[in-house]
Amino acid sequence: MKALVTGGGGFLGGAIVRKLVERGAEVRSFSRTKYPALELLDVEQFTGHLADPAAVGEAARGCDVVFHVAAKAGVWGPHSEYHSVNVVGTRNVIDACHRHGVGRLIFTSSPSVTFAGVDQDGIAESEGYPPRFLASYPATKAESERMALAANGDRLAVVALRPHLIWGPGDPHLIPRLVDRARKGKLRLIGRRPNLVDTTFVENAADAHLCALDRLAVGSACAGKAYFISNGEPMPLWDFLNRILAVNHLPPVTRSVPPWLAFGVGALMEMTYRLLRLHGEPPMTRFVARQLATAHWFDIAAARRDLGYDPAVTVEAGLALLAAAT
């Protein structure tokens, strides 16, 4: 099997690459730069921008399956950048699959495509897209997910996976940001409700992609569908985050601000950053305020049934692995 992983040098992409290599697959990666870790795995590396159809097509040529993991993530930045990577990039991946006869496409989406700013308690895939979004990332991921699923047909089988809050050893996103803000004394609870939130250990997220590979085919039960992916262990958000802080030898966060105030501060900071054209990311945004103040956990029964997904690493075991690597 020859597989292409876009974003193969990233956190989740790298975990998928390693599992494919362990299976004996011939693996390619498409990223903006080359990664020494992939060279050690004898992964063929293609570099370029997802918005470049020729570069994407060259990487996909001759492949049996594409894992489209690469995306522009985050909660702040020009909408045009999110659109270029997430929407145009996905369109180019789909076109490359059609042009070069790739039979399977596994698209990495996000549960944020369903987030309307209110509690999501055990929702299933029947939950629709909201009428509006609070940030460019979920807006463009929703557009690209719709596009990917619409491409499912008699020549290309497509499935979309929505892993939530991926974490684990080597995480370059969630944990470093959390630790940095805690050390600077900038972390606050948003409200006092014990909002349940799902997370996904990185190895489980990668396993879900391999499960999709094994089950995906034209006309299969999962073709043309999206699936929530998590550890299946929802817990109060700040209980989880405080355990991450404890692993990093930091005290728990106990001070809080009301949700309405956090949302208002986020709106004010967004306006200020836009008007003054400030660099970097605002300390608070409306999207982050709503995410931290609400519950978001998901029913993964469909992924268990259709993909055979069964999260192998529990939150407790993942925290132990994280502690060992810290």
- Per-residue pLDDT of 193-235, as tens digits, reads 889 999 999 999 999 999 999 999 999 999 999 999 999 999 9
Residue 191 pLDDT: 87
> Considering Cα of 144, then 145, then 150, then 155, what sign does the dihedral take?
positive
- Residue 28, pLDDT > 90, answer yes
> Considering the chain, what percentage of its residues have pLDDT values greater than 70?
100
Residue 280's pLDDT is what?
86
The DSSP code for 251 is: P
Task: Give me the residue spans of the domains in the chain.
Answer: 2-168+198-234+297-318
Does 30 or 172 have the greater pLDDT score? 30
Active site residue 137: yes
CATH architecture of 2-168+198-234+297-318: 3-Layer(aba) Sandwich (3.40)
Mean pLDDT computed over 144-172: 97
Per-residue confidence at 82, pLDDT binned at 50, 70, 90?
very high
**Catalytic residue selected from 137, 227, 273, 309:** 137
Average pLDDT, the chain: 95
Tell which residue, 234, 64, 86, has the closest CA to residue 160. 86
d(CA 210, CA 248): 31
273-322 residue pLDDT tens = 999 988 888 988 999 989 999 999 999 999 999 999 999 999 999 999 99
Token pair, residue 234, equals 């929802």
User: Would you say residue 81 has pLDDT above 90?
Assistant: yes
In this structure, are residues 198 and 230 in contact, taking their beta carbons and an 8 Å threshold?
A: yes
115-119: average pLDDT: 94
Residue 40 pLDDT > 90, yes or no? yes
Q: Where are the beta strands (DSSP E) in the chain?
A: 2-6, 26-31, 44-47, 65-68, 104-108, 120-123, 157-163, 166-167, 189-190, 196-197, 200-201, 225-229, 235-236, 256-257, 296-298
